[in-house]
Amino acid sequence: MPSSAHDAESDHPRWHPASRFAFGCMQFGGRADEAQSARMYTACRTAGISHFDTAWIYTGGRSEEILGRLIREEREQLLIATKAGYTGGAGAANIRAQFDESRRRLGLDMVDVLYLHRFDPHTDLRETMDCFAALKSEGLIRYAALSNFAAWQVVKAQMAGLASGTAVDILQPMYSLVKRQAEVEILPMCADQGIAAVPYSPLGGGLLTGKYAAGGSGRITEDKGYRTRYGQAFMHEAAQALTALAADHGTDPATLAVAWAAAHPSRPVPIISARTVQQLQPSLAALDFGMEPDLYQAIEALSPRPAPATDRLEEQD
């Protein structure tokens, strides 16, 4: 862990953010070749980003291998996260097998953050949390983390970890202007439980860059799952309105989208990503963008606010 991370102020007693944003390496070795990946890594480091996120399943392992080569000379200045259990379940044997391979690919004995990549209804969470506790005690991880969990599943994991004294340190939900369900219970739960929120897809799969309205292509046009995820009409209307608002403010819609996600009162650490440095620059610009309250509210008004958990709409502020 970098010394600067220890000095950073944080509302989360169990972890110290390495940088205000993280960079997601999902494209490394896939849509971004090694040279493109290296240029994006350098741009992130130049901008002050020191938190890099990957997963065992990304691009057949190439993402971890490329990241491992890029971080070799400055490992001690970085916070590295990977994920296990997207396939094969949340049992200890599967988590350890995938994590051991991840460490080999990354060239690391210790990885700062290990996520369980998604909830496994067929495995007792006590086994998972005991596995996290063991990995911590062995010095192989610093933080136990969960990804793609509902709030009740996180609380269940918290309870399952009581026996081993292991709590959830970090949660990685999806969150953007067009995917706001995390506002209902996940982000408030994180703030209440001292769990750091590190949300992914602040650009809504690229929808909030405005490129699809301009006839561009990408995951939403090429991937059925993304088309389904971002297929509702209001999402595309919000993206068009965000593009117009960005033009009024002399900035890029991607900059507004990322800055808005980062400005949530729970102080999340958004994961930005791209295929090229050119795509990445507007997201990096959000690091220095001053999000005034009036602008935050104007952006918020571009998409429907999700109903409260009780569904009592009359009590919504």
Give CA angle at 91 (68, 118), nearest 5°.
65
In a domain, 179, yes or no: no
Q: For position 16, what pLDDT does the model report? A: 66
Residues of the domain holding 68: 3-172
* Mean pLDDT per 10-residue segment, the chain (317 residues): 35 66 97 97 98 98 98 96 98 98 98 98 98 98 98 98 96 98 97 96 95 81 86 95 97 98 96 97 97 97 94 82
DSSP letter at 1 equals -
Q: If we measure between CA atoms, which residue out of 218, 198, 199 comes closest to residue 279?
A: 218
Cα gap 308→185, rounded to integer Å:
8
Asked if residue 279 belongs to a domain, the reply is no
Residue 7: predicted pLDDT: 34
Contacts of 213 (CB under 8 A, 6+ apart): 236, 239, 240, 243
Q: In terms of DSSP H, where are the helices of 82-124?
A: 92-106
Q: Give the global pTM.
A: 0.93
Compute how many other C-beta atoms are within 10 angstroms of the C-beta atom of residue 302: 20
**218 occurs within a structural domain:** no
Tell me, what's the pLDDT at 315? 81
Q: For position 150, what pLDDT does the model report?
A: 97
CATH code for the domain in which residue 137 is found: 3.20.20.100
Residue 195 lies in a domain: no
Q: Taking a C-beta distance cutoff of 8 angstroms, is the pair 53, 299 a contact?
A: no
How far apart are the two ends of the chain, measured CA to CA in Å?
40
Q: Is residue 24 part of a domain?
A: yes
Q: Work out how many domains the chain is built from and give that number.
A: 1
And the tokens for 172? Answer: 């990685």
Strand-pairing partners, residue 271, are: 22
21-45 burial, b at 16+ Cβ within 10 Å, e below that, comes to: bbbbbbbbbebbeeebbbebbebbb
Q: Is residue 305 part of a domain?
A: no
In a domain? residue 224 = no
Q: Is residue 88 part of a domain?
A: yes
